[in-house]
Amino acid sequence: MLQDYLPIFFQILIALGFAAVTLTLSVVLGRSAKRNATKDSAYECGMLPVGDGAPRFSVKFYLVAMLFVIFDIEVVFMYPWAVQFRDLVANSPTALVSMAGFAGVLAFAYVYALKKGALNWKS
């Protein structure tokens, strides 16, 4: 039983050892470098970093991004089904009906987002 987990244990041990050695070398070699205020300041494309770091965005951008991710992930779920479509439908039409229901829920969600104005950039 222990023999089965030995390679996993060695892999974890090597990964932790690599991380520890890399961080230790970074700290040791980083202390020996000459430091000054110019090197320690943030580099922002040649401009002085003045003001807020990030501009404020409307919530609309985040909403559209979330909708994109949601619908993009749903396409990932549809792809394996489309690859096996012939075999699935030849055995039973249940796969077709279930995917039609899934696509129906997606269509309903898309229409709901449109009605709520989630994709309207004018407002």
Is it the case that residue 123 has pLDDT exceeding 70? no
List alpha helices for the chain, DSSP H. Answer: 2-31, 37-40, 59-83, 85-91, 94-116
Its pTM stands at 0.49
Identity of residue 14: I
Which pLDDT tens digit goes with each residue over 20-31? 999 999 988 877
What proportion of the chain, given as a percentage, has pLDDT over 90?
A: 20
Beta partners for residue 44, in sequence order: 47
CA–CA separation, 70 vs 80, rounded Å? 17
Q: Which two tokens stand for residue 17?
A: 């050892």
Task: Give whole-number Cα distances, 60 to 14, 57, 68, 121, in Å.
Answer: 45, 8, 12, 8
